């Protein structure tokens, strides 16, 4: 369970990371790419912040996550300049891809298409008796 301090730091980092990443994407010449910070979770000792990113279009997601992760020290520095009045020590950043939106879209497409297990029960695996 997260403490109030962890939640406050996560919210602060999430809000400021959006600006840093959008600015970096513009400077890098990435047009038509949307990067959003879906969640930030901070460890109990406040030393590591796990940042979950949703990237559109999803075809470029893995490539962009690798690029962002390799530039994590630079992003940490830019973010530290923004939050220097609120935090004494800046946590290390770990970037991960949040594919929950793709998962939801896949479920939605399945339910609206031919792969709907409700209308086509033959798609479901048969349960085996043990």
To the nearest 10°, the Cα dihedral for 108, 113, 117, 123?
A: -120
Helix, strand and coil in the chain, % to nearest 5: 50, 20, 30
Residue 31: predicted pLDDT: 75
> Distance of CA 126 to CAs 107, 117, 121, 123, Å?
20, 12, 10, 9
The pLDDT, as a whole number, for residue 35 is 86
Predicted TM-score (pTM) of the model is: 0.75
Q: pLDDT means per 10 residues in the chain (130 residues)?
A: 90 92 79 86 94 86 88 92 89 90 75 69 65
Pure H helices in the chain: 4-27, 61-70, 72-83, 100-112
- CATH superfamily, domain 4-119, is K homology (KH) domain (3.30.300.20)
Distance spanning both ends of the chain, measured CA to CA: 37
């Amino acid at each position: 369970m997260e403490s109030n301090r962890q939640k406050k730091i996560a919210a602060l980092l999430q809000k400021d990371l959006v600006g840093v990443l959008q600015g970096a994407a513009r400077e890098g010449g990435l047009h038509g790419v949307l990067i959003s910070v879906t969640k930030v979770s901070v460890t109990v000792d406040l030393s590591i912040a796990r940042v979950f990113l949703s990237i559109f279009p999803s075809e470029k997601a893995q490539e962009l996550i690798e690029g962002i992760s390799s530039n994590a020290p630079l992003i940490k520095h830019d973010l530290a300049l923004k939050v220097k009045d609120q935090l004494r020590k800046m946590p290390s950043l770990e970037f991960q891809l949040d594919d929950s939106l793709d998962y939801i879209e896949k479920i939605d497409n399945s339910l609206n298409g031919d792969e709907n297990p409700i209308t086509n029960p033959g798609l479901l695996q048969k349960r085996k008796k043990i």
